[in-house]
Chains A and B, each alone.
Chain A
Amino acid sequence: MRRLAGGPATAIALAALGPAWVLAGCGSSSSQSAALAPGAPVKIGYLASLTGFCSTFSQEYVKGAELAVERVNERGGVLGHRLQLIVRDDRATPTVGVAQARDLVLSGHVKYLAGTCSSAVGKSVEQLVANPSHVIYAVGVADPAVFSGGPEIYAFDTIPTAKVEGENAAAYVRAHPQWKRIAAISEDYSYGYQVTAAFKQAMATDRPGSAGGQTIISQDYVPSGGTDYTPYIDKLIAERPDVVYSTAITEDTVTLVKQALPLGLFDKTHVFGIMDYATIDAMPKPPVGIEGYTYYPSSSIYHTPFAHDLEALGGVAANGGAAGDAFNQIQLIAQGILKARSTDPTKVREALSGATVQTVQGSVAIHRCNHEVAMPIAMGTVAGPTRAQPFAHFEHLTLVSTSKYFEC
């Protein structure tokens, strides 16, 4: 293993290499990996919802995690140890997720966990790893309650929470004072309620930046996984809002858009909402001209080395969110170990709190107070396929920093 040598000039030069430097696996092997026997792998348990409501894109999560492990191992692993991924199906169910996590930790002697698409599973597993297991858990869930335990928690969030998302949407709406009547439509589960609540709170007239005269005239929660949203869309049209904020995600976004198009919703009002590339690409007729945002990693938005790495997965996986999020989770763990120069989870936690890590989206900070990663949000306008990008994508992109939404 090559030793990292040299002074500041060398460090600056190496920093310019970005993730390649971080993951060179370099560093002395003398005392950093005292928790593991020489040559033993660093086991990472990955909770993938292979069955259950997230199963549609869970294979992409696994592919992203596997790719990240492969990249780290290609560069020599971490502190002389290769990463080993152990995938378990949590069925998007807390009891199953906790059982799998417990088995990984107790029987598998795993000290690092990642994954799940379900906030409920994430919350349950976070409580498991906090005490007394002391297992690092890198997870991408939107429920802010998962990270409400303060700086002592062992969980790290790799995507913006519903609170950050709602605040960012409110800032966007407030930036358009001509939008007086605002409607919100979400899915009928915890994420939908949380993001709408955060949006409403941020739109309150006594908040700084309020333009005044902007009123949320309705908020609806459509059934997640529903097949007929026509009555709800008709209701939205009848209410004549100036703008509709939609936080339907993935499949439900497709259903909403497909049914809204013939009803003329997009002609009668502004619509903006969360849309990842895989979703808009899956639509036979993408909603061109609609303003959307995404924080899901996409190699076509974020032109970083990690984003470039994702292209190896091809197609939907490369441009969607699941693979990139899983990739980030594994990279966060690997970088934490390198920063801590130890595989001891407690030292890794300390090293990651307040640190800056390299992700698909670039260099992002981890907030010390709640271990949420300040992932930027990309906002833009949906465009149809072009020669340069032969798939539906965003144009007129703005990358919005989300650090300002954290109250540490």
Chain B
Amino acid sequence: MSLATFIAQLFAGLGLAFVLFFTAAGLNLVWGVLGVMNFAAGSVYMLGAYLTTSAIALVGASALGWTLALIAVPLAVAALGAAVEVALLRRTYRAQDENRQFMLTLALSYLIAGAIVLVFGTHFRTVSLPGALSGGWSVLGATLPRYTVVTIVLGLLVTAAIWAVLYRTRAGLLTRAAVDDREMLSVLGVDVDRLYSGVFAVGIGLGALGGVLIAPQGTVSTNLETTALVPAFIVVVTGGLGNMTGALMAALTIGIAQSFAALHDATLAQLTPYAVMSVVLLARAATGRLGWSLTGLRSRRGGAARSAAG
């Protein structure tokens, strides 16, 4: 393998990893804090992609247009997510009925998909990149698509922002505390309902961000739902439910492994996510450890809850 090929595959893998991570991070956040397995995550991703095509059609495929879409679409979908959480999901928390939550999010996924077909039709849509993001850069003989580099940089920034908010802000502290002990937070006077709505909105927004980023790379069609959901679940399960660090490590491992596996065989590349998940789950079962840091939303022995109590 030449150096150029190595660099090209590494960057391709990183680009894939961060798009995977956004959807998985959203899923993880909702699961970790609210305890809800959001089966509408794939639909949200798809919705983000479709709304991006509309936003670009409205504003134009210029750098400004793309920046506006990058900000506005996730915010809009996040707001929609918050509304759904308040109106529907909140009613299921008290009963702690996971089956009801599963059915609700599944129903939402069908509703979103159906609405997309009604509004946008069944034909696929495409958007183009602004000139500044088209083309590639030559680095040590490898051609790196500019858009992939931007995706990676954005991925790093969003990841850093997630960590900063979770571990450096009061909102993050309360979020982690809610994972540990919701009742204690409530007793302390924290509006847990509002906190949950905010977390759900952020989780949905992250999923939509994945859709925004994928939109210009290919076509936007109703197939996106399943192409996003299954890999996101694999990343979440591999990284550990509710474990954000784990999700990031899983996404990076799977993305890079899949990219290098493609050098040998495309079928092998497609099997890679499942292989990684299987190995990790088996290792976890055998040793009780994940293999990488367990630091995540669930702090040891309710530490966040105690910190929030002051």
Interface residues of A (CB under 8 A from B): 50, 53, 55-60, 188, 220-223, 225-232, 234-235, 237-238, 250-252, 254-255, 258-259, 261-264, 282-285, 316
Cβ-closest chain A residue relative to B258: A231
Q: Is A231's CB under 8 angstroms from B146's CB? A: no
* Interchain CA distance A227-B124 in the complex, whole Å: 13
- In this assembly, does B262 line the interface, its C-beta being within 8 Å of a C-beta of chain A? yes
Cβ-closest chain B residue relative to A229: B218
* Interchain CA distance A250-B270 in the complex, whole Å: 21
Q: Is B222's CB under 8 angstroms from A55's CB? A: yes
Pick 21 A–B contacts, CB within 8 A, sort by A.
A60-B123, A220-B266, A225-B221, A227-B214, A228-B16, A228-B218, A230-B145, A230-B259, A231-B13, A231-B16, A231-B260, A231-B261, A232-B266, A238-B1, A250-B124, A251-B219, A254-B124, A258-B218, A262-B147, A264-B136, A284-B129
Q: Is B123's CB under 8 angstroms from A264's CB? A: no
Cβ-closest chain B residue relative to A54: B122
Interface residues on B, range: 35 or more
Q: Which of B124, B226, B265 has the most CB of A within 10 A?
A: B124
Contact with A259, one of B127, B128, B145, B260 (Cβ below 8 angstroms): B145
* Interchain CA distance A220-B268 in the complex, whole Å: 10
B59 to A: closest C-beta gap in Å = 15
B234 to A: closest C-beta gap in Å = 14
> Known contacts being A58-B122, A258-B217, A262-B146, is A234 close to B8, with CB within 8 Å?
yes
Cβ-closest chain A residue relative to B1: A238
B74 to A: closest C-beta gap in Å = 18
- In this assembly, does B238 line the interface, its C-beta being within 8 Å of a C-beta of chain A? no
- Additional 10 contacts, C-beta under 8 A, given A60-B123, A255-B218, A263-B136: A59-B122, A188-B270, A222-B266, A226-B227, A228-B12, A232-B266, A235-B9, A254-B124, A262-B146, A263-B8
* Interchain CA distance A223-B274 in the complex, whole Å: 15
Q: Is A238's CB under 8 angstroms from B2's CB? A: yes
Q: Which of A56, A231, A316 has the most CB of B within 10 A?
A: A231
A248 to B: closest C-beta gap in Å = 11
Q: Is B128's CB under 8 angstroms from A284's CB? A: yes
Q: Which residues of A contact B265 (CB under 8 A)?
A: 220
Closest 4 pairs between A and B when the two form their complex, measured CB to CB: A284-B128, A255-B218, A231-B262, A262-B145
> Known contacts being A254-B124, A262-B143, is A228 close to B266, with CB within 8 Å?
no
* Interchain CA distance A201-B270 in the complex, whole Å: 26
- In this assembly, does B32 line the interface, its C-beta being within 8 Å of a C-beta of chain A? no
Contact with B221, one of A56, A188, A229, A234 (Cβ below 8 angstroms): A56
> Known contacts being A238-B2, A282-B219, is A227 close to B136, with CB within 8 Å?
no
Cβ-closest chain B residue relative to A254: B219
Q: Which residues of A contact B12 (CB under 8 A)?
A: 228, 230-231, 234
- In this assembly, does B291 line the interface, its C-beta being within 8 Å of a C-beta of chain A? no
* Interchain CA distance A6-B134 in the complex, whole Å: 66
Interface residues of B (CB under 8 A from A): 1-2, 4-5, 8-9, 12-13, 15-16, 19, 61, 117, 121-124, 126-129, 134-136, 143, 145-148, 214, 216-219, 221-224, 226-227, 258-263, 265-267, 269-270
Contact with B218, one of A53, A227, A262 (Cβ below 8 angstroms): A227
Q: Is B262's CB under 8 angstroms from A235's CB? A: yes
Q: Is B122's CB under 8 angstroms from A55's CB? A: yes
* Interchain CA distance A114-B219 in the complex, whole Å: 29
* Interchain CA distance A284-B133 in the complex, whole Å: 14
Cβ-closest chain A residue relative to B20: A228
Q: Which residues of B contact A220 (CB under 8 A)?
A: 262, 265-266
Contact with B135, one of A56, A57, A188, A262 (Cβ below 8 angstroms): A262
* Interchain CA distance A230-B207 in the complex, whole Å: 22
Contact with A228, one of B15, B127, B128, B134 (Cβ below 8 angstroms): B15
Contact with A56, one of B2, B122, B267 (Cβ below 8 angstroms): B122
A117 to B: closest C-beta gap in Å = 12
Q: Is A231's CB under 8 angstroms from B227's CB? A: no
Q: Is A282's CB under 8 angstroms from B122's CB? A: no
Contact with B5, one of A60, A234, A250 (Cβ below 8 angstroms): A234
